Structure 1
Amino acid sequence: MKKIKVGVAGYGVIGQRLADGVALQGDMELVGVADVAPTLSVKALKEKGMPYKFFTAAPERQAELEAAGIPVSGDLDDLVRQSDIMLDATSAGVGAKNKLLYEKYGKKAIFQGGEKNTVADVFFHGYANYEKGVGADFLKLTSCNTTGLIRAVDCLDRAVGVEKVAITIIRRVADPGDYHRGLTNALQIDKAPSHQALDLMTIMPHVEATGILVHTPVTHGHIITVVLTPKKDISVAEALMYFDGHPRIRLVSIDEGFQGNASLFRYARDLGNPRGDMYEIAIWRDSIVKSGRDIMFAINIPQEAVVIPENIDAIRASMKMQLTRDEGTAETNTYLGIGKWKIS
């Protein structure tokens, strides 16, 4: 079996997790990762024995890498030439510049949620519109919040249909270790509607969505509350059944000890998951209630890892490895070990 060769540009919060995710895929080969400087993530890669080849995205700064003892296998051009497809996890705006390089060498690429939608041919989600990405040259993923939100909404939409959703996002203000946001003791509200609601409608145009976003001074995960109007009246028990059947949704409860976002982060660490990562979103059983025909529930979004499976789905779609959402997501889930806890 010929493996698809994948390169990762940007070795930060998302990039290092993308590299790990690709390395787990039995039908893919990670060519290497690229970054501009000996960041803490790159230094940690060296200390782990350089399990992945490193390529410099800023040759003019190679002296810094050499001084830090980072072995360099080439530059970004070399990585792109050696890859079939690139996962671009660079800072917002850099991916659009890198696209010129991908086009130069005739290589496909997948961009993250921070890039503008115009960078790609398809705004992509592994479950909601997989088939639209099949064969596409450039795909853009949704943000972490939108990725998890669409998983839950698409789950019920495929089961009974969804008319509209209204969301409130309680957003962590920064990733762990990010100091540039400052130390705060305040909440900050954005103008409505939130981009996540608008992005959901872009992926799922048949669903009316709106929402509010509140920034909170925490780092381990977002929480989204959803009020969803199904096309067919369903019970709480039925909603639980549909959610429980989704591989990338984990049902939890307060009585089990899952009191909030920090509980889920701690549980992921107790499981021994690298970096405390969790690919699944969590929905609290205790939060699912009805108001008339509307269903309300709360989701935990593990922002550092939630988009990794959908990125792998995007590779499968773009490279025509699997042609349907069921086949593509199933392969991704198998190699990442998603859903195994349901039968353990």
Structure 2
Amino acid sequence: MIKVGVAGYGVIGQRLADGVAAQKDMELVGVADVAPTLSVRALKEKGMPYDLYNSLPDNQKLFDEAGIPISGTLEDLVQRVDIMLDASPGGIGAKNKAIYEKYNKKAIFQGGESNSVADVFFHGYANYEKGVGHQFLKLTSCNTTGLIRAVDCLDREVGIEKVAITIIRRVADPGDYHRGLTNALQVDKAPSHQALDLMTIMPHVDATGILVHTPVTHGHIITVLATPKKDISKEQLIELFSKHPRIRVVKLADGFQGNASLFRYARDLGNPRGDMYEIALFEESIVKSGKDIMFAINIPQEAVVIPENMDAIRAAMEMQTDRLEGVAETNKYLGLGKWIQK
């Protein structure tokens, strides 16, 4: 049983903890955070299902005043696990790396850290084998994670020469106020980092892209224009995407009009926090221009990277050294692909 700890109990950290707890071949030893945040207070009110460790001992008084039990420090947690999932704010994970190195522990970092923090820039489906046995892996961002799922799915079937993407990006997570109240769209300088990151993971694909910030909080939409090496029909595309356990093909005609429809559907399914691990691909968005393919996908930014983090644990700890075996175990425990028509 692989023992896992989570550093940072925020938007991603909460979901990482739940993801590990769902894996029958892993044990969640505990989570660590720096203060009694709302997420930590909710953990207490739920009866402390996970042991909590203090990442900043100088703040112990704050936890005591809030009546939140502490099981030790971050260093204590690191010593009790085989591998850490670091979901700390960008830049903090790089500092935590010194602790992981001190105790010779493995760690997985999130998309907010610089690529230099890790040995391998990792994606479960696209380059699983490259992460096998390495000490430090770094995940791609939420947008890049979902984008690579779709491009990799196509690439393995027909080969992809190049892609051009437009990202319609939510401005902040639900509950965040740090971006202020806005009524504007903002265009980033091209190419977007997601296109560059895709080429880092899949260097044989030529990618470029534009990113537009939008004043919404639930999900990103990405349009993809892909040039395949072999022609493929729209019907074949739908069949291919429909078989992928982390891609849910949805129809506008069924009421899936966009990000809000998908968030509502996740809540109607009873998913905790309204989370979805899978990206959604809008069937009616699939069009062809000659051999080129265009389609649109929805990226549920709060939870989409959780499966790939579980894959990263499996690769780093050599639980499964084969790509398909590793992702299949993750999918099984997270219930991914259960909507696929048999």
Letter in 2 for 1:155: C
Q: Distance in 1 between matches of 2:232 and 2:221?
A: 24
1:44 to 32, 42, 45: 42
1:193 pairs with 2:191: yes
Q: Cα offset for 1:126?
A: 0.1
2:263 to 265, 270, 274: 265
CA deviation vs aligned residue, 1:161-214 (integer Å, no higher than 9, x gap)? 000000000000000000010000000000000000000000000000000000
Q: Distance in 2 between matches of 1:241 and 1:171?
A: 28
Three-state SS of the structure 2 residue aligned to 1:304 is: coil
Q: Cα offset for 1:146?
A: 0.1
**1:44-193 correspondence to structure 2 within 5 Å:** 44-193=42-191
CA deviation vs aligned residue, 1:3-54 (integer Å, no higher than 9, x gap)? 1000000000000000000000000000000000000000000000000000
Q: Distance in 2 between matches of 1:48 and 1:339?
A: 29
Three-state SS of the structure 1 residue aligned to 2:313 is: helix
2:281 to 277, 280, 283: 283
Q: Distance in 2 between matches of 1:283 and 1:32?
A: 35
Three-state SS of the structure 2 residue aligned to 1:182 is: coil
Q: Distance in 2 between matches of 1:57 and 1:237?
A: 51
Letter in 2 for 1:152: A
**1:194-213 correspondence to structure 2 within 5 Å:** 194-213=192-211
Q: Distance in 1 between matches of 2:272 and 2:64?
A: 28
2:213 to 200, 215, 223: 215
Q: Distance in 2 between matches of 1:31 and 1:48?
A: 17
Give the aligned CA root-mean-square deviation in angstroms.
Answer: 0.6
Three-state SS of the structure 2 residue aligned to 1:290 is: strand
Q: Cα offset for 1:241?
A: 1.1
Three-state SS of the structure 1 residue aligned to 2:124 is: coil
Q: Cα offset for 1:159?
A: 0.4
1:226 to 217, 221, 224: 224
Three-state SS of the structure 2 residue aligned to 1:251 is: strand
1:9 to 7, 13, 27: 7
Q: Distance in 1 between matches of 2:253 and 2:22?
A: 34
CA deviation vs aligned residue, 1:88-130 (integer Å, no higher than 9, x gap)? 0000000000000000000000000000000000000000000
Letter in 2 for 1:76: L
Q: Distance in 2 between matches of 1:148 and 1:217?
A: 21
Letter in 2 for 1:58: L
Q: Distance in 1 between matches of 2:232 and 2:58?
A: 60
Structure 1 runs not aligned, ≥5 long: none
Q: Distance in 1 between matches of 2:57 and 2:98?
A: 18
- Kindly indicate whether the alpha-carbon contact (under 8 Å) linking 2:108 and 2:309 is maintained by their aligned counterparts in 1: yes
Aligned twin of 1:21: 19
Aligned twin of 1:326: 324
Q: Distance in 1 between matches of 2:338 and 2:258?
A: 23
Q: Cα offset for 1:64?
A: 0.3
Q: Distance in 2 between matches of 1:343 and 1:182?
A: 43
Q: Distance in 2 between matches of 1:231 and 1:238?
A: 15
Three-state SS of the structure 1 residue aligned to 2:125 is: coil
Q: Distance in 2 between matches of 1:12 and 1:338?
A: 23
Structure 1 runs of 4+ aligned residues shifted over 2 Å read none
Q: Distance in 1 between matches of 2:303 and 2:332?
A: 16
Q: Cα offset for 1:342?
A: 1.8
Q: Distance in 1 between matches of 2:223 and 2:108?
A: 29
- Kindly indicate whether the alpha-carbon contact (under 8 Å) linking 2:93 and 2:113 is maintained by their aligned counterparts in 1: yes
Structure 2 runs not aligned, ≥5 long: none
Letter in 2 for 1:334: K
- Kindly indicate whether the alpha-carbon contact (under 8 Å) linking 2:243 and 2:340 is maintained by their aligned counterparts in 1: no
Aligned twin of 2:308: 310
Q: Distance in 2 between matches of 1:10 and 1:181?
A: 21
Letter in 1 for 2:139: L
Three-state SS of the structure 2 residue aligned to 1:316 is: helix
Three-state SS of the structure 2 residue aligned to 1:220 is: coil
Q: Distance in 1 between matches of 2:178 and 2:196?
A: 27
**1:236-251 correspondence to structure 2 within 5 Å:** 236-251=234-249
Q: Distance in 2 between matches of 1:74 and 1:5?
A: 16
Q: Cα offset for 1:341?
A: 1.8
Letter in 1 for 2:88: T
